Structure 1
Amino acid sequence: MAHHHDEEFRLHTPEFNHLHNKLDRRNFLTKTSLGLGSLAVGSLLTGVSGFFDSPKKIVQESTPNLEDEILKALPHIAPKAKRVVYLFMSGGPSQFETFDYKPKLISLAGQNLPDSVRKGQRLTGMSANQSALPMVPSAFKFNQHGQNQTWISELLPHTAEVVDELCIIKSIHSEAINHDPAITFFQTGNQLPGRPSIGSWVSYGLGSDNQNLPTFIVLVSKNGQKDQPLYARLWGNGFLPSKHQGVQFRSGKDPVLFLNDPEGYDGKDRKEMLDYLSKLNKLQNDTYADPEVEARIAQYEMAYRMQTSVPEVMSTADEPDEVFDLYGADSRDAGTYAANCLLARKLLEKDVKFVQLYHQGWDQHGGLPQGIAQQCKSTDQATAALIKDLKRRGMLEDTLVIWGGEFGRTVYSQGKLSANDYGRDHHPRCFTMWMAGAGVKAGLSYGETDDFSYNIVKDPVHVHDFQATLMHLMGVDHERLTYKFQGRRFRLTDVHGKVVKDILA
């Protein structure tokens, strides 16, 4: 009966007839992947079983699928992290006002950056024409915290409470000196757009642990100053199948765009429409064997399941007051950084594999003391609360938490300089990030910079090294997870990167 129904569907569906008729002589020769040569030897193979099978079958049987073989080998090693939450501080937080304490700058305030320190390194167009590069110490005090007496800025009192959980890396470096290429480099492994993001690589390589929610979810703070734009391509799939792109969850009545039923549709109508659309997509897939059609089918099916799962996970009605107190008052205001940290914990509990939070507003070229104080006030408590919340639920041991931006800031002031009003330009040569949780050493401060936080003097960690280490903690050898595109095999770390073994627990 099912076969008869499918035949009737094919005969009375104009869309199918359109697809069927498009398989003309040129398409046939292309889709066989054998071309005219197959016709030339046709007489020799007459009677050989399967020679005149469908083009799709010929392709599958004659060409082993290397991509499938690559995925079958995963994970390459026992993963320490089952899931990742990446807190991206867009704009470039200053290491001087957060984690990289430089007390010697107090006696050097106002003096020009020595040429012996700068070493002719590239400056941005915003400070290259300054007649002087006056150095400026932080306007904020630092204090020692935790078992290892780690120096932390007074701007981060809540982070200081969890410092024994953190692996602070002070020697991150990058080549990119401007925002767009720098953030693209961090998120995709290349300064130019078009490559898959980290979350997409994780989704492609490791798949999902929850079939009712996307593997890769993105949250953007509504209360971060929009000084630098964010683009959807930063969480895009690049050349990987489109089902691996990050899905942005938003505050408001439509957390995921186009997920809700259109006006006038009830559940039954929606289901019938999706069933009909699924049949058309399957017919197109049978005709063309295009993997993107399979991805489209999977996305429609996921969207249908998400209509039930998303409202449940977005609701915080069951959270006790104690949880909101932990994350801070803003956590009751959907879409804020604090609310997104709480939502991230809920998503991680549902086994979403990769959650990325973006908080804008860290690009302080002027008015830095006031600007960074506000940024820290908006993020510090919720960041620490996420660490505490994961730990008390027994999740920190298999969840990797990451905090950082796309580069650091300069020791010299951009523009006017006073003790209470200064700015800092972009500085990719050395800056600070931290990791916590699954597989990394807790309470560690790794890497060292010079007295000016201008150059690295010990244990440099390149962006590709950071990416390789993240993948390693997820059980992936970054050199072995590749995808063929435009004639060559690509990977997240391009042809670079090494795992930073000294920070691994």
Structure 2
Amino acid sequence: MTQEIQITEKVTRRSFFEHIATGVQGAALTWLLQQDLYADSSPPEEQEKESISGPHHRPRAKSVVHLFMNGGPSQMDLFDPKPMLDKFHGKEHFKQIAGEVEFPERAGALMKSPFQFSRHGESGMWVSDVMPHLAKQVDDITMIRSMYTTNLTHEPALYKIQSGSEFTGHPSLGAWVSYGLGSENQNLPAYVVLDDPLGLPVNGIENWQAGFLPAQHQGTRFRATGSPVLNLKPEFEQPASVTQLERDLISRLDRIHQRQRTYHHQLEARLSTYSLAARMQIAASDALDLSQETAETQKMYGIGQPVTESYGRRCLIARRLIERGVRFVQLFINSQIWDTHSAIASNLKSACQRTDQPVAALLQDLKQRGLLDETLVMWGGEMGRLPIAQLSPDKDARKSGRDHNKNAICTWMAGGGVKPGLVFGKTDELGFAAVENRVSVPDWHATMLHLLGLNHEELFIKRNGLNERLTGVGNHPRIVSEILA
């Protein structure tokens, strides 16, 4: 009796591979190939545009490493010293800023920094004593003291800095860069996320979403230890030809499934991930193999030391990914270590101890290898902090921290076309608000894109009749030309 298989629109992976086992793969494969050829004959205008064609002008940087310090680093305790806080320490100031305090019930008086500042490098840039390693690299960075945002709550402020909008569903920074430039290495993603093994940041995986861009532009999470991507390698070895046949058959089945669900973006992301995963099996493992690095290099990043091990590994991996053509590498810290509502003297110091040495090593390493000139390194969070104390419930001054501040953010850039050793912008005498050469979040986004060769006005996707951009619809941000080399 001849066994027959009827391949219909309802064919599933399980039924297909069950029939392969009974020897009918030839007929099935022929049908799949016919379907695939038919699909490829569709007019180009009916296919979704996956990305644009590259830079709009000559880029100054080829890639970005975004060192995101979620929680809101305190500007007046790190890079923007305020002698007037020393002078007026303990003076009441709440009434003057009452509408800008998220937790007014815990508002205290003006509070001086618990840290000491000194000038460093030929530029004479001020850095507090909790960042001794970065202090040695200040002549390579551009410090922006005058950035500000529009919301003092973490979730919308995070969405704003990551996507240009205070609301979820919009593409992230790396997704826009991937959409605009693609990857230089087809065996690795254009956009890689190195999040913290200890946990996700606030807003979780939405920090690296593709939003309404084609789904393949979302960030790909790499683990810093073990297999870079879970389930990337097969459980057992088999001939390469067999593995490739399996991939081809699965890919064709997936494309059939996709054509029945044209607007299913999660499905598109899955298909793109499968294809990329096959190519990544060797490339990703190689990029994350730190045994190829010298002991001296690993020591420079703080690898082998409990406090700096995790972030040091990720900073070194970031450099290795940049070397291999990844466009946008983004590092996150678990939870909110920079959100120093309490005990700022110890908590801010702890955050710096985890990150200062690895960040400085990344800058030094990129420079030594001739990569800093073509790599834009960006450091910063989603907000700053207030000049007044945030009191603990028992009013113990030793436990005081600082509340959120949307009016003043310190952030810095290095490499990729920015002026080294520059301090740009100014806050008021207490560090509460940016008052000179103010830089909005859209300005910052437009400047980053410009350095990558992308015009923020021309980088858009049509949606609901609008040209959606990273810098928003109807906004008129400026490129901060004063910081460009």
TM-score (norm 1): 0.82
The corresponding residue for 1:257 is 230
1:106 paired to 2:86: yes
Q: Tell me the CA shift for residue 383 of structure 1.
A: 0.4
Match of 2:116 in 1: 141
Distance 1:330-1:376 versus aligned 2 partners, 3 A rule:
farther
Asked whether the equivalents of residues 303 and 313 of structure 2 are also in contact (C-alpha less than 8 Å), the reply is: no
Q: Does 1:167 align with 2:142?
A: yes
Give, in angstroms, the shift of residue 334 of structure 1. Answer: 10
Q: Which residue of 1 aligns with 2:341?
A: 365
Partner residue of 2:437? Answer: 459
Spell out the pairing of 1:295-310 with structure 2 (5 A cutoff): 296-310=270-284
Structure 1 match to 2:152: 177
Structure 2 equivalent of residue 220 of structure 1? 195
Which structure has the bigger radius of gyration? 1
Matched, 1:234 2:227: no
Q: Distance in 2 between matches of 1:455 and 1:358?
A: 26
Residues 258 and 15 of structure 1: CA distance in aligned 2, closer, same or farther (over 3 Å): farther
Q: Report the counterpart of residue 320 of structure 2 in structure 1.
A: 346
Q: Does 1:410 align with 2:386?
A: yes
Q: Quick one: distance in 2 between partners of 1:317 and 1:251? A: 13
Residues 215-257 of structure 1: CA deviation (Å, up to 9, x unaligned): 100112336xx69635111101111111111011113433212
Question: 232, 235, 248: which is aligned to 2:221?
Answer: 248
**Residue 468 of structure 2 corresponds to which residue in structure 1?**
490
2:424 aligns with: 446
* Letter paired with 1:167: T
Alpha carbons 1:261, 1:270 under 8 Å: kept? no
Provide the rounded CA distance (Å) in 1 between the counterparts of 2:238 and 2:227: 16
Secondary structure of 1:14's counterpart equals coil
CA separation of 1:447 and 1:384: change in aligned 2, threshold 3 A: same
Preserved contact between residue 483 and residue 490 of structure 1 (Cα < 8 Å): yes
TM-superposed deviation, 1:329: 3.8
Question: Tell me, what secondary structure is at the counterpart of 1:221?
Answer: coil
Report the CA distance shift for 1:212/1:227 in structure 2 as closer, same or farther (over 3 A).
closer
Q: CA deviation at 1:57?
A: 6.6
Report if aligned partners of 2:224, 2:313 keep a CA contact under 8 Å in 1. no
Counterpart code for 2:356: D
Q: Deviations over 1:475-500 (max 9, x none)?
A: 11111111122343211111322211
CA RMSD of aligned residues (A): 2.8
CA distance, structure 2, for counterparts of residue 270 and residue 85 of structure 1 = 34
CA distance in 2, matches of 1:426, 1:242: 33
Match of 1:433 among 399, 411, 435: 411
Pair 1:97 & 2:72 matched: no
Go from structure 1 to structure 2 and tell me whether the alpha carbon gap of 1:12 and 1:202 turns closer, same or farther (over 3 Å shift).
farther
1:227/1:82 CA distance change after superposition, 3 Å: closer
CA drift of 1:339 comes to 0.8
User: Offset at 1:355?
Assistant: 0.2
Structure-2 separation of matches of 1:289 and 1:414 = 52
The alpha-carbon deviation at position 128 of structure 1 amounts to 1.8
Deviation at 1:80, TM superposition (A): 0.5
2:24 alignment counterpart: none
Which residue among 5, 10, 14 is the counterpart of 2:7? 14
State the AA in 2 paired with 1:383: V
Whether the aligned pair in 1 keeps the contact of 2:303 and 2:309 (CA below 8 Å) is no
The CA distance in 2 between the partners of 1:188 and 1:471, in whole Å, is 13
The alignment's TM-score, normalised by the length of structure 2, stands at 0.86
Hey, what's the Cα distance between the residues in 1 that align with 2:189 and 2:361?
Answer: 24
Taking the aligned partners of 1:214 and 1:175, their CA distance within structure 2 comes to 32
Are 1:71 and 2:52 matched, yes or no? yes
| Distance across 2 between alignment mates of 1:334 and 1:241 | 36
Mapped contact 1:330–1:336 kept (Cα < 8 A): no
Letter in 2 for 1:100: D
Gaps in structure 2 of 5+ consecutive residues: 13-37
SS at match of 1:90: coil
What is the identity, as a one-letter code, of the residue corresponding to 2:7? P
Matches within 5 A, 1:30-109: 60=44, 67=49, 71-72=52-53, 74-109=54-89
The secondary structure found in structure 1 opposite 2:133 is: helix
For residue 80 of structure 2, give the secondary structure of its aligned residue in structure 1.
Answer: coil
- Give the Cα separation in 2 of the matches to 1:270 and 1:173: 52
| Closer/same/farther in 2, CA of residues 420 and 270 from structure 1, 3 Å limit | same
Q: Is the 8 A contact 1:331 1:340 kept in 2?
A: no
Flag the 1:220–1:283 CA change in 2: closer, same or farther, 3 A. Answer: closer
Q: What pairs with 1:256-275 in structure 2 (closer than 5 Å)?
A: 256-262=229-235, 270-275=243-248
Q: Deviations over 1:103-151 (max 9, x none)?
A: 12112111111645x2x53321xx2234x53010001100011112111
Task: Determine the C-alpha separation between the residues in 1 that align with 2:307 and 2:249.
Answer: 40
1:255 and 1:443 map into 2 onto residues whose CA distance is 36
Which SS does the other structure have where 2:194 is aligned?
A: strand
For 2:368, the equivalent position in structure 1 comes to 392
Q: Is the 2:224–2:317 contact (alpha carbons within 8 Å) kept by the matching residues of 1?
A: no
Structure 1 residues 487 and 258: CA distance shift in structure 2, 3 A:
farther
Q: Secondary structure at the match of 2:403?
A: strand
Cα distance change on mapping 1:300 and 1:418 into 2, 3 Å: same
Q: Deviations over 1:356-406 (max 9, x none)?
A: 001241111111110111111111111010000000000000000000011
CA distance in structure 2 between the aligned counterparts of 1:55 and 1:303, rounded to whole angstroms: 23
Q: Deviations over 1:15-50 (max 9, x none)?
A: 55669xxxxxxxxxxxxxxxxxxxxxxxxxxxxxxx
| Paired residue total | 450
